[in-house]
Chain A
Amino acid sequence: MSRQILLGDEAVALGAVHAGLSAGYSYPGTPASEIMEYLIHLAGENKAFKATWSVNEKVAYEEALGVSFAGKRALVSFKHVGLNVAADPFMNSAITGANGGLLVVSADDPGMHSSQNEQDSRYYVQFAQIFGYEPSDQQEAYEMTREAFDLSERFGLPVLMRLVTRLSHSRSPVETRDARPQNELKKGAAKDWILLPVNARRRFGLLLDRQAEMVRFSDESRFNVLKLNEGDRSFGVIASGVAYNYFREAEAGEASLPSFLKVSTYPLPEGLIRRLVGHVDTVLVVEDGYPFIERQLKGLFGIAGKTVLGKLSGTLPASGELSPDIVRRALGRGPLPALEASGLPLAARPPQLCVGCPHADTFKALNKALEGTSGSNVFSDIGCYTLGALPPYNAIHSCVCMGASIGMARGAADVGIRPAVSVIGDSTFAHSGITPLLGAAHADSDMTVIILDNATTAMTGGQPTYGSGERLLRLIEGLGVAKEHIRTIEPLPKHHDKNVQVIKDEIGHRGLSVIVAVRECVQEQRKRRS
C-alpha cells in the first residue's frame, strides 16, 4: 500500500497498470490526455506494457480491441467527442464482447471548458447496453478501474468509465495496492468475433441475456451507497459522480443528512432506487451532464404520488457544469457570506495564440490574400488555430469536429462558394483529414486546403503527430493532389508578401490546391531547447 498524489486521469492510468494492463491507446483531447501521458510515463524505459498515441480514436479503439481479442487487458481513452469517432467499433464490440478485459474511458466536459458540446457518455453505456462506472473522486477512479477489468472479463464485455473535467483535472492523494500480473495470451473464438449476421444475432442475444445480471451487480456494488433517514420521509437525493460531492459539501455542517443514494454504476441500481424513492415524497436528482438518471426515473408519466426534481424540472440548470454553489441553491440553502465583488469592471482574459505562433503569421497572410473576396469562406478545424476566430485575426468561419474543415469546404465549393478555404493542423489532418482530401482530389474540387504543419499536437500539450514534414507532403501527393498545386510556405513575418502571393495564386486556381505552412510550434521549440 502506498500513497501518491494523482490527477483523476492519472488514478485511472495507475489503476489500469495495477490491474495488469498490457496495452493502452488514445488520441489527445482535453480532459482525457493526461491518462495516456501518465501511462507513457509509467511504461518508462523498460516498456513493461505498451502505451501509444494512436492516429485517431477509432484506430485507438480497434487497437485496444485487438489486444482484448488476444486475451490481454487493454485500455482505450479519449475525450467524450472521441467516442463519436470510435462509435463504430465501440458499438460492435458490445456484440463481439471482450476476451481480455477492455476498459473504455470517456472524459466528458460539462461546461465546455475545452470542447464543442456537453454530450454525456452515459448514453453510450445505455446505447451499447454494457456496464459503466462513474467515479466521484480520485480514489474511486483508481479502485473502479481495477474492478472494471475484472468485471469486463467476468461479463465478457467492454466496460466504460465516464469521467468529467473536474475529476480528470483534480489532484488528491490516492492509496494504491500491489499490481496484478498481466494475462497470458489466449485468442478469442472466431465464431464470437466474426460479426456475420448469423453470429451477430447469437451474440446480441447473449448481450441481452446479461442485462439482468448487470442490474443486479449494480445493486450490489460497494460504490453505490444508500442511506435512509428514518426520521424524515419528505425529501431525498439521488446524486452521481462529482455531483455527489457537491451535495455532501452543502450538507456538511448539518446535524442529520436527508435520505440519499449515491449512484456510481450503470445500468442503474434499480433496487436501490426503488428503496430511496419509496422512502420519500420528493426526490432531487443531482448529476453533472445530461439529466440521464432523472429522465429514466420520470419516464413519460412521472411517478404517481412523488415529485422528481432536477434539470428537467428547472431546479438545476439544464446546461453548464454543476458547482457546489448551484447544488447548494437547489437544496434550498442560501449563499454563504462572501466578500463583495471589487466593483471594478474586470476585463476578460480569453486564451490566445502564443507570441510568435506560426499560426498567427499564416492567418495574417490568409486574411491579406482574401481581401476583396466574398468573405466567410474559411472552414477551420480543431486545434490551437481555432483561436484564429478571435480578434485580431477573425480569420475563420467554422469549427465543428475533427477533419470537418475539408469536407465542409468541398461541400460549399460543390454548390458555388468561392473561394472555399480549409484550414487544418497536421495532427488533425492525420486524424480525419486524409479521407475527405482523397475525395476532394478525386473530384478536383475547386478549393484550397491549408495544412498548418507545426510538427505537434499543440493544444493538448505537444503529443506526437503522424502527418508532418516530408511524410505529409508525400501523403498529399499520394492522395492524388496535382503536384504543381501542392505548395509549401514558411509562416514568418519576413515571408509575409511571398506567402500572400502563394495563397492568392492557389485560390485563383480552378481546382484543388494544398498549401502546407511549415514552422514548428513555439512551445515545442522552447521545450526542445530547455
Chain B
Amino acid sequence: MKQDIILAGVGGQGILSIAYVIDNAALADGLFFKQAEVHGMAQRGGAVQSHMRLSDGTIWSDLIPKGEADMILSVEPLEALRYFDYLRPDGIVVTSSTPFRNIPDYPEIEKVMEAVRRAPRSVVVDSEKLAREAGTVKAQNIVLLGAAAAFLILREATLFQTIDTLFRGRGTSVLEANLKAFESGKKAALGS
C-alpha cells in the first residue's frame, strides 16, 4: 500500500499544516512516510510545494519521481497545474477554485479551471466560500484536506483526530472552524 501526493499552493497558504496533519495521521495509522518541504526564501509569497510519500514499505527518495504522484492536492488552481507532469496518467487532482493573484500576469481563471478539468479525475472545491462559512477564511487548507480525505489511504477518523490535536491549543473558535472546514470539504468533494 502506498500513495504519493504533491501538496501545492502559495507561501503562507498553510501547505505545511496539511502536511503536518497527514504526517501525524500516517504515523498513527502505522504507515511510514517521507515528506519534503520548502523553507526559506520561497515561503515569501512564492510557489511552494511539498512531496508527501506514504507507504507500508520502504520509501527511498524524498522526492516523488515524475509520473508517480497519485494525487495533486492544491490550495490554489494555478499551482495545481504547475505539477501536472508529476501525476500518473490516472491520477487525481484535488484543488481549490480560488485564485491567489499576487502576480501581474495571472492567467484568466476560466482558462486555468479548464486546464484543471483536463486531468482524468479532478475534484474542485470553492475553498474560500466554504472556509468563510466554516468560520475563518484561513481554513482553506483544511477544506482541501477534507475534499481529499476520501481518496487518501489514511483513516478519516485519524485525520479528524489529528486536526483536533493541531488546533486544540489555538482556541475553541479556531478549532471548531477547522473541524467544520474539514467536514464541508468532504461533503463538497462528494458533490463535485
A residues neighboring B (CB under 8 Å): 3, 5, 30-31, 33-34, 113-114, 137, 166-167, 169-173, 242, 245-246, 248-250, 252, 323-325, 328, 335-354, 384, 387, 459-461
A114 to B84, CA, bound (A): 25
Q: Which of A34, A173, A324, A349 contacts B61 (CB 8 A)?
A: A324
B residues neighboring A (CB under 8 Å): 10-11, 19, 23-24, 27, 32-47, 59-68, 78-79, 81-82, 84-89, 91, 102-103, 105-107, 111-112, 115-116, 118-120
Q: List the A side residues contacting B65 at CB < 8 Å.
A: 249-250, 323-325, 328, 336
A337 engages B88 (CB within 8 Å): yes
Given pairs A339-B84, A339-B120, 19 additional interface contacts (CB within 8 A): A113-B40, A137-B34, A169-B37, A169-B39, A170-B34, A171-B33, A171-B34, A173-B33, A245-B61, A246-B60, A248-B60, A249-B60, A336-B65, A337-B89, A339-B89, A344-B81, A349-B10, A349-B78, A354-B45
Main secondary structure of the interface of A (DSSP, over half): loop
Q: List the B side residues contacting A31 at CB < 8 Å.
A: 39-40
Q: Which of B38, B68, B87, B120 contacts A113 (CB 8 A)?
A: B38
Q: Which of B33, B41, B60, B62 contacts A459 (CB 8 A)?
A: B41
A338 engages B81 (CB within 8 Å): no
Q: Which of A324, A341, A349, A384 contacts B47 (CB 8 A)?
A: A349
> Can you identify 15 A-B contacts, CB atoms within 8 angstroms?
A5-B23, A30-B39, A31-B40, A33-B39, A113-B40, A171-B19, A173-B33, A246-B61, A248-B60, A335-B67, A342-B84, A345-B107, A346-B81, A349-B78, A352-B44
Q: List the B side residues contacting A248 at CB < 8 Å.
A: 60-61
A114 engages B41 (CB within 8 Å): yes
Q: List the A side residues contacting B118 at CB < 8 Å.
A: 342-343
A343 engages B40 (CB within 8 Å): no
Q: List the B side residues contacting A173 at CB < 8 Å.
A: 27, 32-33
CB distance from A24 to the nearest CB of B (A): 19
CB distance from B11 to the nearest CB of A (A): 7
| 3 A-B pairs closest in CB distance | A336-B67, A30-B40, A338-B67
CB distance from A237 to the nearest CB of B (A): 13
Question: Which of B47, B60, B81: most chain A CB closer than 10 A?
Answer: B60
Q: List the A side residues contacting B39 at CB < 8 Å.
A: 30-31, 33-34, 114, 169, 461
A460 to B44, CA, bound (A): 11
B63 engages A323 (CB within 8 Å): yes
A166 engages B66 (CB within 8 Å): no
Q: List the B side residues contacting A338 at CB < 8 Å.
A: 66-67, 84-89
CB distance from B137 to the nearest CB of A (A): 16
Q: Which of B35, B45, B68, B103 contacts A171 (CB 8 A)?
A: B35
A351 to B120, CA, bound (A): 31
* CB nearest neighbor in B for A357: B44
Known: A338-B88, A346-B82. A351 touches B43 (CB 8 A): yes
B11 engages A351 (CB within 8 Å): yes
B67 engages A337 (CB within 8 Å): yes
Question: Which of A171, A173, A335, A336: most chain B CB closer than 10 A?
Answer: A171
* CB nearest neighbor in A for B76: A349
CB distance from A525 to the nearest CB of B (A): 15
Q: List the A side residues contacting B88 at CB < 8 Å.
A: 336-339
Q: Which of B36, B45, B78 contacts A169 (CB 8 A)?
A: B36
B35 engages A114 (CB within 8 Å): no
A384 engages B44 (CB within 8 Å): yes
Q: List the B side residues contacting A252 at CB < 8 Å.
A: 60
CB distance from B26 to the nearest CB of A (A): 8
A30 to B37, CA, bound (A): 13
Q: Which of B24, B27, B46, B68 contacts A351 (CB 8 A)?
A: B46
Q: Which of B34, B38, B46, B59 contacts A350 (CB 8 A)?
A: B46
Q: Which of B40, B62, B111 contacts A344 (CB 8 A)?
A: B111
Question: Which of B10, B40, B102, B107: most chain A CB closer than 10 A?
Answer: B40
CB distance from A248 to the nearest CB of B (A): 4
A336 to B23, CA, bound (A): 26
A328 to B45, CA, bound (A): 32
Q: List the B side residues contacting A172 at CB < 8 Å.
A: 32-35, 59
Q: List the B side residues contacting A30 at CB < 8 Å.
A: 39-41
Q: List the B side residues contacting A349 at CB < 8 Å.
A: 10, 45-47, 78-79, 102-103
B43 engages A170 (CB within 8 Å): no
* CB nearest neighbor in B for A138: B34
Q: List the B side residues contacting A461 at CB < 8 Å.
A: 39
CB distance from B53 to the nearest CB of A (A): 9
